[in-house]
Amino acid sequence: MFAIFGWGRKSKSWLLPDGSHVLAYWRYFHIFWCPLAFNIKWHLVGDNRSEDKVITHEKVKELMPHNTPDLNAWQRYGLLMAAGVCILIAIISGATSQDTSFASSNAQQSQASYNSLPTGTVLLKLPSYFEGSGRFTIKNGTSDDAVVKLVDNSANTSIYSVYLKANSNYTVESILDGNYKVIFTSGKNWDASSNKFLVSPDYEKFEDILNFETTDDQLTHYSLTLNPVVGGTAETATINPSEFNSY
């Protein structure tokens, strides 16, 4: 039956040319298969085993200078060697974990330092355009914040501008009948003084014009998603920052 730990005594002999033997006796302690030797003693035993005297290892070297017997490193220090490996692995693992935590912490701190606004923060609104019945839902399924502008297509004038945080939705109510186009910018770290994202800014427009029309039995409700979705038909095109800022 295998024991997790144990102790005992071992011996090993080497034959000399004159028929006598060099014997090593040692005590050991082991955990699993990792031994630690101690109290090592060397004996010189005659060929008829009538003579047995304790000698030093220096004497052993004199008797057998070309092939001096000794315990190998594992027999002597196996337990210490295994412990050293475990400690080294723990140190490396701890350092890697700290590096990962540090990188994660830095990333979180960096994210936390980005300036953002609450979803639904209105940056521009022309009240005269909001006496109707149209509705417009914006879905931002991206990992970036966005600013969406609703532009009167005939007047080329922005009538509404709203801020959406990443992974959020917002609905604009009471839009007056008419034709409108939708442009937006997305990114991180909103700068209110320059009205732009300072990190990874993108500028896009929806190709389709939104036609809001109210009848006695019909109201217009558009829903646009800023990120591509399965089955979606709305197409976008990249625009330059100056075009976005011109509205």
Question: Helices H, strands E: what count in the chain?
Answer: 3, 14
Phi-psi region of 49 (alpha: psi -120 to 50; beta: other; left: phi over 0): left
What is the spatial distance between Cα 180 and Cα 186, in angstroms, rounded to a whole number?
Answer: 20
At 57, which helix (H) or strand (E)? helix 57-63
Q: What is the CATH number of domain 121-245?
A: 2.60.40.10
The pLDDT of residue 184? 97
**Looking at 32-114, which runs of residues are DSSP E strands?**
34-45, 52-55
The torsion defined by the Cα of 153, 154, 158 and 159, in degrees rounded to 10, comes to: -100
One-letter identity of residue 178: G
Please give the average pLDDT of every successive group of 10 residues along the chain, which has 247 residues.
79 90 92 90 83 91 91 91 93 81 56 87 97 96 96 96 97 97 97 95 96 93 88 86 95
Question: Where in the chain are the domains?
Answer: 5-84, 121-245
Give the closest residue to 187 by CA, choosing from 229, 234, 241, 232: 241
